[in-house]
Amino acid sequence: MASDTESLVITASGEDKIGLVEGFTRRISESACNIEESRMAALGGRFALLMRVSGSWDALAKLEARLPAVGEELGLALTQQRTRPTRPEKPLIPYTVEVAALDQPGIVNSLANFFARLHINIEALDTETYPAPHTGAPMFAVHMTLGIPADAHIATLRGDFLDYCDDQNLDATFEPVRM
């Protein structure tokens, strides 16, 4: 997609049911738009979607006009907004962070605070809870993708992050994204 082409960012949520993704994506295809990026998940019986679609100006306008009826038909609360891809001020290197710990309130906020103070963007974040093997203790896992400025001193950042995790009693890895 050309960098000056507009896109449409769509968020949707509703009751999870079989065929929801097919029905929604069919409407996008029928409007001659292309799904560029998406995140979809079923959480606690609810469905959530975040998607960026591209297309010609008229294809996006057609989709925008159709979305309220599509949302009503599929039982989804929808929001939509036109956008353009952004370019970072500096080149970014993608890194992944994996964290596991006993479940406790505030882990995500504490991690987000650590990276925000260093002006590092969290580009994706997934969490889950699960019982620990053997003991059944409640565990919490976080997977993040970070955009780290190319001029950052990675070894120092990695060391500071792992020291922080040790202080917080978090098991963590900090690695470059493998393409």
Residue 126 is predicted with a pLDDT of 95
- Taking the CB of residue 67, how many other CB atoms lie within 10 A of it? 21
Could you report the per-residue pLDDT of 32-75, keeping only the tens digit for each? 999 999 999 999 999 999 999 999 999 999 999 999 999 999 99
Confidence of residue 6 (pLDDT cuts 50, 70, 90): confident
Q: Alpha-carbon distance 33 to 36, whole Å?
A: 9
pTM assigned to the model: 0.79
> Dmax over Cα atoms in the chain, in whole Å?
57
Residue 2 — φ and ψ, nearest 5°?
Answer: -65, 145
β-strand 34-43 against 76-83: which pairing, if any?
unpaired
Residue 86 — φ and ψ, nearest 5°?
Answer: -105, 150
Confidence of residue 87 (pLDDT cuts 50, 70, 90): confident
Confidence of residue 7 (pLDDT cuts 50, 70, 90): very high
Q: Alpha-carbon distance 64 to 58, whole Å?
A: 10
Confidence of residue 88 (pLDDT cuts 50, 70, 90): low
User: Per-residue pLDDT averaged across 138-166, rounded?
Assistant: 95
Percent of the chain with pLDDT over 70: 97
User: Does position 114 have pLDDT exceeding 70, yes or no?
Assistant: yes
